[in-house]
Structures are given as C-alpha cells and as structure tokens.
Amino acid sequence: MPVIDLRSDTVTQPTAGMRAAMQAAELGDDVYGEDPTVNQLERYLAAELGFAAALFVPSGTMSNLLGLMAHCERGDEYIVGQQAHTYKYEGGGAAVLGSIQPQPIEGEADGSLDLDKVEAAIKQDDFHFARTRLLALENTMQGKVLSLDYLASARALCERRGLALHLDGARLYNAAVKLGVPARTITEHFDSVSVCLSKGLGAPIGSVLCGGEALIGKARRLRKMVGGGMRQAGMLAAAGLYALQHQVERLADDHAHAEQLAAGLRELGWVVEPVQTNMVYVQAGEQADALKAFCAQQGIQLSAAPRLRMVTHLDISAEDVRRVIEAFAAFQN
C-alpha cells in the first residue's frame, strides 16, 4: 500500500497532466530572459495577482529573501512574527545575506500580528536605530487565514508610517480558496508577494516573487547573485503554470479532508485545534514519538512533535484519512 505522508504538502508527486505539461514545455535560457515558459508563468501570475512583474525562483526561501533584500538595504529593519517562516525557518538569511535586522514580535492566536504592537515596534528616525522599512506578514499562517479587514488595516498602517508590506504567501491560494475570493483580493494590499508552487499546488519545485517593475528588477539581479539563475527552467515553470491553471480549486478538497481528519480524531478524544485550511494540529504531548513509530508501521508518515502538525494535500484521499483515524484508534488500544 502506498505510504500516507502527512508531514507536509511539499511531498506531493507531479500529476499526470503536470508531467505532460512539463514534457511539452517550450524552453530557452532563462538567465538570458529567453525561456518562453518561464516568461509566460511570470506574466500569468503577475497579472493574476495584480502586479507589474514577477520572478520565478527555485524556492520560497529564496523568493522571500529576494523580496526582503529588494525592499531593504544594509542596516534596515523589517518587522515580522516570531513564528514567521522568513524569520524562524530560513536560516536567518535576511540578516546573513542582506544585513537586514529582523524585529520579531509575538504573533496572535489568529495568525496575525497585533497592529498596535507593530506600530510600537517602528523605530524613530534616529541614528541610534536601524531604519524600519518593511512589515512582513504570512498567509496562511500555520493554516490560519488572515481576514481581509485585517489586511486592509495593515495596509493603512504601512501607508501612514511609510513602510512597505510583503506577504509570504507560500499558501496564498489556500487562503483565497478558503475565503472564496480571487487571490488578487488578498494580494492587492501588498507591495510584494511570494507564492510557493511546490506546496499544496503540487509542483515539484519553484516559487514566484511578484511586485513592481523596479522591485522585481532588483530581485532579478539578486537572484543571480545568490545562484538562483536557472537555464532551461521552463520545464519547472510549466509545472507551476499547470498547477495555477488546474490545481487551485481542488485545494478545497484538502481543506475538507483536514476537517474530516480533525473531526475523526476529536471523536476519539484527541485535542485538535480548529481547522481552517489544510493543516491539522493535534496535542500529541508525550505520546508524539510513540505515535509516530506506531503509525509508521501502518504506512503512515507523521512528524513527531508534542503539537503534532498533519497536512493534507493532493496525494491524500478521503480513504487515506479514514485509515489515519483508524490507526490513531488502534494506537489508543
């Protein structure tokens, strides 16, 4: 039986239609700007999200890094959540490679950053201080969707205080599908957005940074500098384009499967956090390691953490979810 892998939505295999699109892609050298499929992907996503330009890069980490470095100079600062991917899970790249100081603040339970706390963290114009330039938000944040009202308020704050606003939209489309709005309704509040094609969208590789002409021009130079200039990258861009054109609406299935998993586990007595998109967080506590080992014997791959995250994706079916719930029940007995 195939393994049911709930560790992340990065583990998906390209679908048959995606492989066919990759096979058929027209290619050129993208460092010369001559890969028609990369150019098509960049134009497509920029237009869809309401930006003038876009840049295809190998990873979300690079996309965020280039975004931060394009907004901020050495000695500038960005405000970010303590648990945000850009701050916590990207090796400190903005500081290491961009000499950008992060100003982390504690996030709220709903995945947002309290805008009063953000405002209080903005430093005065004084040569003792780093120059606060940017606010970075994440949506979805650990599976939670930021409300459109919140985004409008964040935008208003940034306008008022002269900050740029960046979105780590690794799972932007999960948020859009959950809200039932075009992704642009979310991205219109931002100066730049990073979108992962390799998460729930199901492409094997790739992220896209969207923004204005000047910002993306700067990011293009930085991409070369950090070694992200790829050549016949159209094979990968084709996968991303296919995902954007065929595998967005189906994210609703992942959300339904996450609900199904949460409901089944709650019925067994597990404490499960409310589910909004494709992430289920279960209090596994001290049982985390034993649970992981037990499930592995049943062909189910889990992470081992006291606050256990399980992620649904296009290779997880309703039947798989039933098997996982059964495994948890068997573990208890």
Query: Among residue numbers 123 through 142, which ones bind ligand PLP (CB under 6 A)?
Result: 138
Q: Which residue is nearest to ligand PLP (CB)?
A: 60
For tokens 């159209």, name the residue: 234
Number of residues that bind ligand PLP (CB under 6 A): 12
x-or-dash pattern for ligand PLP, window 71-90, by CB under 6 A? --------------x-----
User: Toward ligand PLP, which CB reaches closer, 166 or 270?
Assistant: 166
Interacting span for ligand PLP (CB under 6 A) from 57-65, 129-137, 236-244, 298-306: 57-65
The least CB distance from residue 191 to ligand PLP, in Å, is 17
Scan for tokens 């098509």, then name that residue.
40
* Residue 67: count of CB within 10 angstroms of its CB: 34
Between 138 and 259, name the residue whose CB sits nearer to ligand PLP. Answer: 138
Is 203 a binder of ligand PLP (CB under 6 A)?
Answer: no
Cβ 314 vs Cβ 12: under 8 Å: yes
- Considering only residues 94, 177, 196, 233, which one is a binding residue for ligand PLP as defined by CB under 6 A? 196
> Out of 39, 40, 59, 83, which residue is the one contacting ligand PLP (CB under 6 A)?
59
- Please select the residue that binds ligand PLP; options are 42, 76, 77, 168, rule is CB under 6 A: 168
21 or 141: CB nearest ligand PLP: 141
In the chain, beta strands by DSSP E: 4-5, 53-57, 76-81, 101-105, 131-138, 164-169, 192-196, 207-211, 279-283, 300-301, 307-311
193 binds ligand PLP (CB under 6 A): no
**Residue closest to 139 by CA, chosen among 219, 215, 84:** 84
Q: Judged by CB, which is closer to ligand PLP: 107, or 264?
A: 107
Q: Which is nearer to ligand PLP, 279 or 284 (CB)?
A: 279
64 vs 187 by CB, closer to ligand PLP = 64
Question: Is residue 276 close enough to count as binding ligand PLP by CB under 6 A?
Answer: no
Pair 224, 198: CB distance under 8 Å: no
The structure tokens listed for 245 are 């054109």
Based on CB atoms, which residue is closest to ligand PLP, 144 or 199? 199
Asked if 107 touches ligand PLP (CB under 6 A), the answer is: no
- The Cα 258–Cα 275 span in angstroms is 7
Cβ-based neighbour number of residue 2 at 10 Å? 8
- Please enumerate in sequence order all residues whose Cβ is within 8 A of that of 78, keeping only pairs 6 or more positions apart, or say none: 68, 71, 72, 94, 100, 101, 102, 103, 132, 133, 134, 135, 136, 166
What is the rounded CA–CA span in Å between residue 284 and residue 308? 6
Instruction: Determine contact, residues 29/234, Cβ cutoff 8 Å.
Output: no
Nearest distance from C-beta of residue 172 to ligand PLP, angstroms? 10
Residue 168 or 259: which CB sits closer to ligand PLP? 168
Query: Rounded to the nearest whole angstrom, what is the least distance from the CB of residue 228 to ligand PLP in the complex?
Result: 11
Residue 135 pairs in a beta bridge with 79, 165
> Nearest distance from residue 183's CB to ligand PLP, in Å?
15
DSSP H or E stretch at residue 326:
helix 318-332
- Binding-site ranges for ligand PLP (CB under 6 A): 59-61, 64, 85, 138, 168, 170, 196, 198-199, 207
